[in-house]
Amino acid sequence: MIKIWSMKKNEDAAAKRRPKTSAAQIRVQKDLTELELSSTMKTHFPDPTDLLNFTLTITPDEGMYKGGAFVFSVNINTNYPHEPPKVKCTQTIYHPNVDLEGNVCLNILREDWKPVLNLNSVLVGLQYLFLEPNADDPLNKDAAEELRKNREQFIQNVKTSMRGGNMRGVQYDKVIVQ
């Protein structure tokens, strides 16, 4: 066998052993403890010993979704950051980029995810969806259509849905907080 050890002796950082904490776990620790949560974002860990599953509540303080509290589930698997976190809206909401099942159309959650991105990028991306709903990447086609055709009516619909209204046979969840 080759003598690898002799090469190792020359390295000053040689003498160390590392804890058996998974790379995903370390990355999640780093990502979470460096989260820059503005006053409009809050995380909740149902089981605080489990860092991989939590919820994120966004309460926009401007834009047409102001006054609502939108709750997302965030699930990170052990292949993080090779794979992006799985994010779903837990409520039925009226939004062009969120469907009635809670799926979210945000490029960095799928096709544009890279390991250099982190949880902060995801949070910022989600927050942005509420400030600038985007009619070009629709998941809720009706909402996107309305936003494109009649912005005033769209804003009205958002208000109705946030109060827990029923539109076109869809019962929306009440998300208004006072």
| Segment near other proteins (CB under 8 A); pick from 35-43, 57-65, 153-161, 168-176 | 35-43
Q: Which is nearer to other proteins, 79 or 171 (CB)?
A: 79
Residue length of the chain: 178
Distant-in-sequence, close-in-space partners of 22: CB < 8 Å, separation ≥ 6:
78
End-to-end CA distance of the chain: 71
Q: From the candidates 74, 104, 105, 147, which is the catalytic residue?
A: 105
Q: Which is nearer to other proteins, 35 or 176 (CB)?
A: 35
Shortest CB 163 distance to other proteins, Å: 25
Residue 105 annotated among the catalytic residues of the structure: yes
- Interface of this chain with other proteins, residues 68 to 87, rule: CB under 8 A: 78-79, 81-82
Distant-in-sequence, close-in-space partners of 151: CB < 8 Å, separation ≥ 6:
none
Burial class (CB in 10 A: 0-12, 13-18, 19+), 27: middle
Burial class (CB in 10 A: 0-12, 13-18, 19+), 92: middle
| Segment near other proteins (CB under 8 A); pick from 64-72, 134-142, 155-163, 169-177 | 134-142
User: Does 38 participate in binding other proteins (rule CB under 8 A)?
Assistant: no
Whole-number Å distance between alpha carbons of 127 and 36: 12
Q: Which is nearer to other proteins, 35 or 177 (CB)?
A: 35
The residue among 126, 28, 30, 34 whose CA lies nearest residue 73 is 126
| Residues binding other proteins: number (CB under 8 A) | 58
Which residues are known to be catalytic?
105
Binding region for other proteins (CB under 8 A):
1-5, 7-8, 11, 13-23, 25-27, 29-30, 32-35, 37, 42-45, 48-49, 51, 78-79, 81-82, 97, 99, 101, 103-105, 107, 109-111, 113-116, 137-139, 141
